Structure 1
Amino acid sequence: MSSKKVSVQIMNPGLLDEDTIILGEMMVKRWKIPTNRYLQLSFGSFKQNVKVLSLPRYAGIRISQGMAHKMGLAPRSSLHLSFKRGTSLLRLGPLIGVLISRDYPDSPDRPFGSITMFCREMIHACKKQGAYAYFFTTDHIGPDPDHIQGWVYSDGWRQADLPAADVFYNRLTSRKLENKPSVQHFMKEVKSRYGSHFFNEKFLDKTEVFDALKTDQALLRYLPESHLFRNYAMLKAMCSRYPVVFLKPIRGSLGKGIIRISKNPEGTYQTLATQVGGARRQNFESLTKLFSSLSGKMKTTRYQIQQGLTLIDLSGRPVDFRALVQKNRLGKWEITSIVARIAGTQHFVSNLARGGSLSTVKDAVSKTSLPAEVKAKAGLRLKKAALDIAGGIEAHIPAHFGELGIDLAMDTFGKVWLIEVNSKPSKNDNTPLATGKIRPSVKRMIDYATYLSGS
């Protein structure tokens, strides 16, 4: 297959028939593109029979304004053009559709709120890599999946009518939105009708992850004992086995609602619960009284009960690690980044939303009391664990993922443990980016979309 990134020139009305495109003469000859019969031009689900005209000393593609309108193409786009001899098919793209939770049409500078900078960065990366992205919400999904009202960028954000994409990237941050019948129907329709790929297609919950990974003997080394919390007997058994036990909402995020349970020397029990200003401490004379205090919460929240770990710390502040693992241009899992997260002074969880701070793995580990030989291998151990766990998620959970946020811990012996897996790693505008800078995570996501599309 021949492929090249080309500039797309949209011609003014009347200058080019809608069923005609112009390519450079050298490309037409080199790729042996027929000019004496109709070929099919495709862009996502958009397909049109076209005649090809060649133009000397030209290297791009010219299309009519009418065709560009049907494709939802913005002026001055740069796209990969590919041609496979024998198929009579010219393909532009890949076309990537990003499904987001909400938009703000009345805020043209920040139409996607806190993820606007990420969306703009993605547009910039697509242009460099010959892809084209649009953004849409669940409200943009109509009865015909072949026509999607989405947002594109060209000297500012605007809405356009677009075809179904080659690849869809699910950035919904609400389970309620994700589970809407219209959204589920849309996912099935674009896959079956157009062969579209849909990655990160679902949320993960803690019980699902741990139950799936438990079935893989090679992954047991990373798993603390962990169960769906059901009753007093389970609480009693876990507290008898471990000095510290955690209760975590199975669908929680950002460290919300986590309860740490520990036994005091005199036989009483203490809970620490995450709150905005710091941990809320309560003491209970017995485990039965502690369980009674949880009963009300259990009616509205399902918890995972998990073995407590003795984590490495910095001056009493627990340290854990967030690995971003993504599929690359070959469709293989690869580590994009690993950072250390250090809990805030009034918290026992490391989430940034709870006052935590970031550090490099090397800097954080170097300040702990781990033996020197363990410190030297810490980065490699964390990378191996993250890749093993990503592979386990792919093998044992029937859904398509292209990126995962994997939270890991290291105990005072240097052993690596899994805390949780997040299928919707944050894309908020936390830090300003230099103009034109594209993070490796954004580039890799487009690489994977290109791989999936076969472009």
Structure 2
Amino acid sequence: MPSKKLKIQIMSPNLLENDYLVLGEQLVRQWKIPVHHQMQIVFGSFRQSVRVVPLAKYDGMRISQELADKMGLMPRSSLRLTYRSHSTTLQLGPLVGVLISKDYPDSAERPFGPITLFCKELVNACQRQGVYVYFFTPNHIGSNSSRLSAWVYGDGWKKAQVPAADVFYNRLTSRKLENKPSVQHFLKEVKSRYGSHFFNEKFLDKTEVFDALQRDASLSRYLPESHLFRNFLTLKTMCAKHPVVFLKPIRGSLGKGIIRISKLDGGSYQTLTAQVGGTRRQVYPSLAKLFSSLAGKMKTTRYQIQQGLTLIETDRRPVDFRALVQKNQTGKWNVTSIVARTAGSQHFVSNLARGGSLSTVKEAVARSALPAGIKSKVPVRLRKAALDIAEGVDHHIPAHFGELGIDLALDTSGRIWLIEVNSKPSKNDNTPIGGGKIRPSVKQVVEYASYLSGF
């Protein structure tokens, strides 16, 4: 059944009873909606019996203040409506809930800290599409999964009681929060009781990704040799095979704690460790001494050991690429953007948090020493690699993802390699555009949520 975007008018209690709603006469006739008969209005997990009153020359929807409060609707909202004749149900939506790590209730202008601009951009995108969005943290989850306290936007940020959403978008940036029993219980409840969709439902770790993708022969060409770092034998074997190896915390982010190991002349070994202020260099007379220096770290941090790659450089700084891959309005993976990231002068990792800088793929490749014939093909080949890997993650890892940040490298021979896959790509890397413009990455989130909800 098609859906129609309508402006919702909220009427004062003495003008419209709680169990009545008003629709335009033309729409009522077109959809063959029975009038003055009991039917269900559905909004996320919320259901109530109502009767429809038709109104001539009217193109919106009028509901009582009491009904609006139960739905958590703000005045002047625009939503899509569909009528399901087989169950005599009017469904409003889509209703989207965004799960975030933290809110700042005392800050009216920035209730979500550094991601407030992103959240407002998402609100703007939803309003244009007739989607209703709210934002909540693990602290807002109570014992009743059908209703929760959340932030909505209407003439400023406000708190409201809202139903469980049709679609939930997980933007938690902490594994500790994601693994809280209350969060995991809520996730299971809304999926099983209300058929809610929950995408980007979990963090990925490096070992999980590489182990899963290694099972797919078609993806092996993108994968550097990579293992869970268990013992001295693993280190010795990898250092014998590769002139450079990397140790990466399997649950790390922003390049934090990555260790680059290389062999020096005379049999000694050098480590470079990524730190906040720059790179820490240490030299060890033997691999055994190097390993013993790592033993303490291995008690608290699990590492992935990975083959080192000779990346292309610009101005003698290594370059890699971040692809944002998202599902679109038909549920298919699509490359939204790819940017080149050049490492800062004091770092060997390219993360912006470590002083890296962004440029276009074309600019970075043009300034590299790659042969001209390879340079022209790089953008298309990076897009293909990003899509192949996203589909591989979808196929081999049992979780629902709607967007992935895929970090790719290009070596000096022009071969593309996977560095890592991030299921919570940062919303601070690309500054939100001013003037009410909406980035394609935000629009895509809304379109995918609409697709999942069936609107």
TM range (shorter): over 0.9
How many angstroms does 1:176 deviate by? Answer: 0.6
TM-score, normalisation: structure 1? 0.99
Following the alignment from structure 1 to structure 2, what is the Cα–Cα distance between the partners of residues 2 and 187? 29
CA deviations 1:379-431 (Å, max 9, x no partner) are 11100000000001010110000000000000011110000000001113863
Matched, 1:179 2:183: no
CA deviations 1:360-379 (Å, max 9, x no partner) are 00111111111112111101
Following the alignment from structure 1 to structure 2, what is the Cα–Cα distance between the partners of residues 193 and 264? 60
CA deviations 1:68-118 (Å, max 9, x no partner) are 000000111011111133231111111000111010101111010011011
Matched, 1:56 2:70: no
How many angstroms does 1:437 deviate by? Answer: 1.0
Following the alignment from structure 1 to structure 2, what is the Cα–Cα distance between the partners of residues 344 and 55? 64
CA deviations 1:174-215 (Å, max 9, x no partner) are 111110111100000001100000000000000000000000
How many angstroms does 1:56 deviate by? Answer: 1.0
Aligned length: 455
Q: Which moved more, 1:325-334 or 1:26-35?
A: 26-35
Unmatched runs of 5 consecutive residues or more in structure 1: none
Q: Which moved more, 1:237-246 or 1:366-375?
A: 366-375
| Letter aligned with residue 102 of structure 2 | R
Closer, same or farther: CA 117–51 of 1 in aligned 2, 3 Å? same
CA deviations 1:205-234 (Å, max 9, x no partner) are 000000000000000000000000000001
- Tell me the equivalent position of 1:129: 129
- Tell me the equivalent position of 1:74: 74
| Letter aligned with residue 127 of structure 1 | Q
- Tell me the equivalent position of 2:352: 352
How many angstroms does 1:266 deviate by? Answer: 2.1
Contact 1:166 1:453 in 2 (8 A): yes
Closer, same or farther: CA 134–219 of 1 in aligned 2, 3 Å? same
> SS in structure 1 opposite 2:252?
coil
Following the alignment from structure 2 to structure 1, what is the Cα–Cα distance between the partners of residues 261 and 447? 44
Following the alignment from structure 2 to structure 1, what is the Cα–Cα distance between the partners of residues 361 and 432? 22
- Tell me the equivalent position of 1:211: 211
> SS in structure 2 opposite 1:451?
helix
Contact 2:169 2:199 in 1 (8 A): yes
Matched, 1:256 2:223: no
How many angstroms does 1:276 deviate by? Answer: 1.6
| Letter aligned with residue 338 of structure 1 | I
- Tell me the equivalent position of 1:16: 16
Closer, same or farther: CA 429–383 of 1 in aligned 2, 3 Å? closer
> SS in structure 2 opposite 1:39?
strand
- Tell me the equivalent position of 2:114: 114
| Letter aligned with residue 422 of structure 1 | N
Following the alignment from structure 1 to structure 2, what is the Cα–Cα distance between the partners of residues 227 and 430? 32
Unmatched runs of 5 consecutive residues or more in structure 2: none
Matches within 5 A, 1:53-452: 53-428=53-428, 431=431, 433-452=433-452
CA deviations 1:17-50 (Å, max 9, x no partner) are 1111101111111111111411211110011111
| Letter aligned with residue 448 of structure 1 | Y
Following the alignment from structure 1 to structure 2, what is the Cα–Cα distance between the partners of residues 177 and 393? 23
Following the alignment from structure 1 to structure 2, what is the Cα–Cα distance between the partners of residues 86 and 258? 58
Following the alignment from structure 1 to structure 2, what is the Cα–Cα distance between the partners of residues 5 and 430? 30
Contact 1:2 1:84 in 2 (8 A): no
Identity among equivalent positions (%) equals 70
Q: Which moved more, 1:317-326 or 1:262-271?
A: 262-271
> SS in structure 2 opposite 1:173?
coil
Following the alignment from structure 2 to structure 1, what is the Cα–Cα distance between the partners of residues 154 and 363? 42
How many angstroms does 1:345 deviate by? Answer: 0.9
Following the alignment from structure 1 to structure 2, what is the Cα–Cα distance between the partners of residues 36 and 17? 13
Following the alignment from structure 2 to structure 1, what is the Cα–Cα distance between the partners of residues 429 and 325? 20
| 4+ aligned runs moved over 2 Å, structure 1 | 84-87, 428-433
- Tell me the equivalent position of 2:46: 46
> SS in structure 2 opposite 1:2?
coil
Following the alignment from structure 1 to structure 2, what is the Cα–Cα distance between the partners of residues 218 and 352? 31
CA deviations 1:252-294 (Å, max 9, x no partner) are 0000000000011222110000012211111111100111111
> SS in structure 1 opposite 2:7?
strand
Following the alignment from structure 2 to structure 1, what is the Cα–Cα distance between the partners of residues 90 and 21? 11
Contact 1:2 1:31 in 2 (8 A): no
How many angstroms does 1:322 deviate by? Answer: 0.3
Following the alignment from structure 2 to structure 1, what is the Cα–Cα distance between the partners of residues 199 and 242? 38
Following the alignment from structure 1 to structure 2, what is the Cα–Cα distance between the partners of residues 134 and 192? 21
CA deviations 1:108-133 (Å, max 9, x no partner) are 11010011011111111100001000
Contact 1:317 1:342 in 2 (8 A): yes
Contact 1:115 1:429 in 2 (8 A): no
> SS in structure 2 opposite 1:86?
helix
| Letter aligned with residue 402 of structure 1 | G
CA deviations 1:49-74 (Å, max 9, x no partner) are 11111111111100000000000001
Q: Which moved more, 1:390-399 or 1:86-95?
A: 86-95
| Letter aligned with residue 261 of structure 1 | I
TM-score, normalisation: structure 2? 0.99
For the aligned residues, what is the CA RMSD?
0.9
Contact 1:42 1:92 in 2 (8 A): yes
